[in-house]
Amino acid sequence: MAWSTSPRGRLITPPFAIAVALLGLAAVLAGPVGRALDLRQDKAPLPLKKSLGAMDPGRLRPYTLAERQPLDPTVAEALGANDYVYWELRDTSLPKDDPLAYPRLFVTYYTGGRNLVPHTPDECFLGAGYQQAMPHENQEVPVPALAPEVETIPLRVCTFLRTAVFNHDEVTVVYTFGCNGRFTQTRTGVRLLINDPRNYHAYFSKVEVHFPGAGREQSVRGAAKLLNRVLPVLISDHWPDFAAAETAARAVSRSDDSNPSAP
């Protein structure tokens, strides 16, 4: 059949008709398909097993706690960091004059909702007056403390520079995210994991390390050593068991589906 040449017919072009058909099909299928695949956008929160602030420094040896550093209230509000640790540590296995002897550890935690936005040093340091000193880099480092479940973890390595009349400050920040039972080193990776429509819950925790006075390669080496102590503690004592929470939620969902008349 030929397409009409009337004014009304000229509006119903082939692309227009296809678009309307696709929208109609999507409207018809959205409900049944969504229910069949059990998809969801809003995520339930997962509380920490134990507050980050209650982390036991004795579990991090040979690192000892030198100082707990509170965040400036304005910074804490901007980051949305209600539960965090920002510690200056002392690596007692190294001489006091070693650049890796005094790491700074910054861990934050976020959970629930929709479209959680991870804050990263890539942007935060620029807002604090630093400049990117060299290209950011993604690396993989071994974590023997987590083997055999996890052989390596992804790290993001960022080096910044801030200059002033009487000051020249270069800092390398190394970080990773623990997110929904997995590790990723990018904001995009976090968003993909927390917005997975198959999951009921979402959380992520940024683990950030830097060493004042240390170079880039030194910082990566020092971060790998510290993370081998910190990550097992976070996993066993603090971060939720994502797999167990998802299994329980799916069991409840199947039970509800099999008893539609249940209150």
pLDDT at 5: 40
pLDDT < 50: residue spans in the chain: 1-9, 26-38, 165
The range of the structural domain enclosing residue 169 comes to 52-248
> Rounded to 5 degrees, what are φ and ψ at 28?
-70, -40
pLDDT at 10: 52
Distance CA 22, CA 104 (A): 53
User: Is 20 part of a structural domain of the chain?
Assistant: no
Q: Is the distance from CB of 135 to CB of 122 less than 8 angstroms?
A: no
Single out the residue of 166, 167, 168, 191 nearest to residue 180, CA to CA. Answer: 191
Q: Cis (ω within 30 of 0) for the bond into 232?
A: no
pLDDT at 255: 72
pLDDT at 105: 97
Strand pairing class (131-132; 152-164) = antiparallel
* Angle (nearest 5°) at CA 161 between 159 and 162: 150
> Rounded to 5 degrees, what are φ and ψ at 194?
-75, -20
Distance CA 261, CA 88 (A): 56
pLDDT at 252: 86
Handedness of CA 183, 69, 238, 230 (dihedral sign): positive
Burial of 33 (0-12, 13-18, 19+ CB in 10 A): exposed
Give start and end residues of each alpha helix (H) in the chain.
7-11, 14-37, 73-79, 121-127, 187-194, 216-233, 242-258
User: Is 60 part of a structural domain of the chain?
Assistant: yes
User: Is 2 part of a structural domain of the chain?
Assistant: no
Per the structure, how many domains does the chain have?
1
Distance CA 207, CA 70 (A): 16
pLDDT at 28: 45
User: Is 107 part of a structural domain of the chain?
Assistant: yes
pLDDT at 23: 60
User: Is 16 part of a structural domain of the chain?
Assistant: no
User: Is 225 part of a structural domain of the chain?
Assistant: yes
User: Is 31 part of a structural domain of the chain?
Assistant: no
pLDDT at 235: 97
Contacts of 206 (CB under 8 A, 6+ apart): 106, 107, 108, 118, 119, 120, 175, 176, 177
SS3 assignment, position 230: helix
